[in-house]
Structure 1
Amino acid sequence: MNQERSGGAAGPMSTFMPQAIDAHPVEFTGSGGEYFRVWIVNVLLSIVTLGIYTPWARRRTAQYFYSHTLVAGSPLEFTAQQRKMVMGFVMLMLLTIAYNIAVRTGQDTAVGLFLLTGAALAPFIWASAMRFRLAATRWRGLRLQFTASWKEVYIASWPVFALALVWFGVFFGMQMLSPDLAQALEAVEEESSKAPMPSFTPAMGGLLLLGLVLSILCFIRLEYNFKSLLVLKAQLGAEKGRWKPVYMDFVKIWLATVAVFILCVVGIAVLVGVLAGSSIALMASQSERMGLWMIVVGIVSAVVGFFMLILASAPARAYREARMFQLMWNNIGVSHVARFKSHLKSGSYVGLRIKNMLLSLLTLGLYRPFARVSEYRMKVESVTLHVKGGVEQVAGAMVRQQQGALGDALADAAGLDLIG
């Protein structure tokens, strides 16, 4: 693990001489009220145009958050071409429509080809989107670049193909463990109603559990590979990204997230049990009006169950987001020129997310822009940029290192806004 950590942290030798380190807290100058005006226009125009306005809405949103995020006193800029965002959106919509038509018309071969093609192109889509987003991000005249080759992207994507192999193995393993299952599948293909009910054995349960565990590990590894590749192959001027986390850091966060989720489920189950017990006692005391109470309790139970289902996963999702944010921003930098530190508190972020979720539900979604701004502010303002030497000197040297007009043209030509 130490070798992996030290290997990941290594990067190209910086062209800057060691100097005093200056700290620059990141600031966010936006407000919920300002963003609400951007958000409500985006929502209304997206509804009126049946979703066609989506790429314009995404660009306006990105420009708002970028322009109000100050790094060392200078705002970020989002310079993406609207035409390329529209092209990416149209391509995705056409593919989605074609896939849905294939599913609804029972074209199993076409559906299978869509799924296989989608899996094969997933790394390309991700890398294209990252190339587009980084090329569209500027700070003090500096453009970010994603320099990974397609070979590096597909090598980092091996968990996608490992996941497919895992479930091929599970599928064939289940057939070997239960001959009845194979016969049932054959009967389904032949549209026969005489299919025997397959028996479920402990061995089959163990195989399914193994498949689920391996799938989760593959997802975690894919997230780790993509994030590390994104940082290590990101470039600012001639300076490349620096990366310290290892795979087990991601596994620990996921394990802690599962523990938080279990605690939330147990706590909510206890609360539901208490409420159900109180309802039963109340109905017992009102036996003559039992029918009315049954209807009321049924409606209340359905509503409460829906909210509880959302609440059960919200703290775990917020906890994972906060921990991952801490891990990333405490362990990445720009070569040996700059590094970041985050003091984000997981508990505070979880509390903010729960409050925002409840207020969004109570206001039927109208509080959502205020929630988004408050969460973004808490995360961004927890980050401090530490730079060796003055920002003016370092930024000026990076601008001189940056590629010229040809490099800018190539960066503009690379990638599409293919994922949200």
Structure 2
Amino acid sequence: MEQFLESAPAVAESAPSGPQRIKFHASGSEYFRIWIVNLLLTIATLGIYSAWAKVRRNQYMYSCTELAGASFEYHGKPIPILKGRIIALLLFGGYNLAFQFSPLAGVIMMLLMAAVMPWLVWNSLKFRLFYTSYRGIRFGFDGTLKSAYFHFLLLPILYVVSLMLALPFVHQRIKRFQHTESRYGAHHFSFDAGVGSFYKRYAIVVGLAIAGGVLCAFLGGVLTALIGKSGVLVAIGIGYVGLLLLVPVFLNMMQNLIWNHTGLGPHRFASEMKWTAVAWISLTNIVAIVCTLGLFMPFAVVRWQRYHLESISLLPEGGLDDFMAGADDGVSATGVGATDMMDFDLSI
């Protein structure tokens, strides 16, 4: 799941009344100081400090995320994360070297990676939720390893065999698995978005891409007739901008679909993300990062996190104090270290 929305437990004194919108108190300048120190120390230690950097970053981001008068807390420790990243480095390094020896060795290593990956993702889900708490109560993930192999190995094979036609189906099944097996204390989340709603969103994006391609082809013909061959380049440039705008459209539709169909006991969630705002934040962040040679990165992260989180609200049915902590299961950090190295996004 999404580490339950990304983020020193403070106990709310009364039951919340009405929708409770998430508040994000981080500032770009504060996070810049954390980010630059993390970056310099990670470089100076040849990547070893990256595990400590991750803990510092998460502790700050979680503590700045407030819901119904209380903030989240991150409890992850750097040493287990570092061990996981070392194992991941050896695994992925062996994968890259295998193809240099022989194609057969490469294929064998690729099959090994496919066999190990569901375990890594499963461990990552357990780690991220177990080391997150809200109001002193931990989150957890109860999905079995067998189910993880079904969702993260067999279903992706179906996606490949179907020539991507099963992608919305696979996406829906994975999100249902992640959400329904996640819990807050002893209470599980629920997820009731159907497969058809996923196919509808994917169809909209594909339709927009096709319509944009036809429009750019027509525009290219018109511009070529008016200004010559350079008109084709102008049309191609417009096409690339259009494709770039499809990303925020997809992110907007997926976040709203997923969180508007997620519940926790009697409580529900709502997401009101607007694609125009996502597009504006994404484009201006990219321009600012390029113009500052990357120094705007922490400010861009805070801008995106603030809009992403503050678009989500909790719709409570009664008080929140009835949620009791469930059993705390110990988990390994190997999975979270490995998936971080591969930049997995488990939220969408």
TM range (shorter): 0.7 to 0.9
Match of 2:174 in 1: 226
- Structure 2 distance, partners of 1:20, 1:80, is 29
Report the Cα distance in structure 2 between the residues aligned to 1:306 and 1:31, rounded to whole angstroms. 38
Q: By how many angstroms is 1:102 displaced?
A: 1.3
- Kept after mapping to 1: 8 A contact 2:256/2:271: yes
Describe the SS at the equivalent of 1:416: helix
Tell me, in whole angstroms, the C-alpha distance in 2 between the residues paired with 1:85 and 1:306. Answer: 44
Deviation at 1:340, TM superposition (A): 0.8
- Partners of 2:284 and 2:52 lie apart in 1 by 30
Report the counterpart of residue 9 of structure 2 in structure 1: none
User: C-alpha distance in 1, partners of 2:16/2:65?
Assistant: 25
- SS of the residue 1:80 aligns to: coil
Match of 1:373 among 302, 305, 314: 302
1:42 CA drift (Å) = 2.4
**Structure 2: how far apart are the matches of 1:266 and 1:115?**
39
Matched, 1:138 2:133: yes
Find the residue that maps to 2:251 and give its secondary structure.
helix
CA distance in 2, matches of 1:81, 1:230: 23
2:80 pairs with 80, 84, 100, which one?
84
2:311 to 371, 382, 387: 382
CA displacement at 1:122 relative to structure 2: 2.3
Question: C-alpha separation between the residues in 2 aligned to 1:259 and 1:366?
Answer: 37
CA positional deviation for 1:319: 1.2
Q: Structure 1: which 5+ runs fail to align?
A: 1-18, 167-213, 282-300
1:235-246 map, 5 Å:
235-246=183-194
Residue 398 of structure 1 corresponds to 323
1:364 alignment partner in structure 2? 293
Q: Is 1:315 matched up with 2:245?
A: yes
- SS of the aligned residue for 2:166 comes to helix
1:119/1:160 contact within 8 Å kept? no
- Deviation of the 1:327 alpha carbon: 0.8
Matched AA of 1:333: G
CA distance in 1, matches of 2:88, 2:237: 32
Classify the secondary structure of the residue corresponding to 2:18: strand
Larger Cα Rg: Structure 1 or Structure 2?
Answer: 1
Distance 1:243 1:364, change over 3 A: same
Relative distance call for 1:65 and 1:161 in structure 2 (3 A) is same
Q: Residue 247 and residue 83 in structure 1: after superposition, are their counterparts in 2 closer, same or farther (change >3 A)?
A: same
Which of 200, 209, 229 pairs up with 1:252? Answer: 200
| Displacement after TM superposition at 1:320 (Å) | 0.8
**For residue 256 of structure 2, what is the aligned residue in structure 1?**
326
- Amino acid across the alignment from 2:190: R
Q: Any idea what the Cα deviations from partners look like across 1:116-148, whole Å, max 9, x if unmatched? A: 122222222211110111111100011111001
Letter in 1 for 2:92: T
Q: How high is the TM-score relative to the length of structure 2? A: 0.82
Cα deviation per residue 1:183-235 (whole Å; 9 max; x = unaligned)? xxxxxxxxxxxxxxxxxxxxxxxxxxxxxxx2323333332222111110111
Q: 2:287 aligned with 1:340, yes or no?
A: no
State the identity %.
Answer: 28
Structure 2 CA distance for partners of 1:162 and 1:241, relative to 1, 3 Å = same
Amino acid at match of 1:238: A
Q: Distance in 2 between matches of 1:364 and 1:41?
A: 17
Query: 1: distance between equivalents of 2:63 and 2:37?
Result: 18
1:145, 1:411 within 8 Å by CA — same for their partners in 2?
no
Q: Which has the higher helix share?
A: 1
Could you say which residue in structure 2 is the equivalent of 1:152?
147
What residue ranges of structure 2 are gaps of 5+ in the alignment?
A: 1-14, 341-348
8 A contact 1:159–1:219 mirrored in 2: no
* Gap change, CA 1:29 and 1:271, over 3 Å in 2: farther
> Hey, what's the Cα distance between the residues in 2 that align with 1:42 and 1:274?
49
Tell me if structure 2 keeps the 8 A contact 1:241–1:332: yes
Query: How far apart are 1:163 and its partner, in Å?
Result: 4.4
CA distance in 1, matches of 2:252, 2:186: 31
The whole-number CA distance in structure 2 between the counterparts of 1:414 and 1:372 is 24
Could you say which residue in structure 2 is the equivalent of 1:65?
61
Partners of 1:414 and 1:351 lie apart in 2 by 36
2:54 and 2:213 mapped to 1: Cα distance? 35
Output one character per residue of 1:336-372: Cα deviation in whole Å (capped at 9) or x when no partner. 2x11111111222122212222222222222222122
Distance apart, 1:28 and its partner CA? 0.4
Residues of 2 paired with 1:103 and 1:274: CA distance?
47
Q: Residues 100-119 of structure 1: matches in 2 within 5 Å? A: 100-105=96-101, 107-119=102-114
User: What letter corresponds to residue 230 of structure 1 in structure 2?
Assistant: Q
Shift of 1:59: 2.2
Q: 1:20 to 1:261 in 2, by over 3 A?
A: same
Report the TM-score when normalising by structure 1: 0.69
Partners of 1:261 and 1:315 within 8 A in 2? no
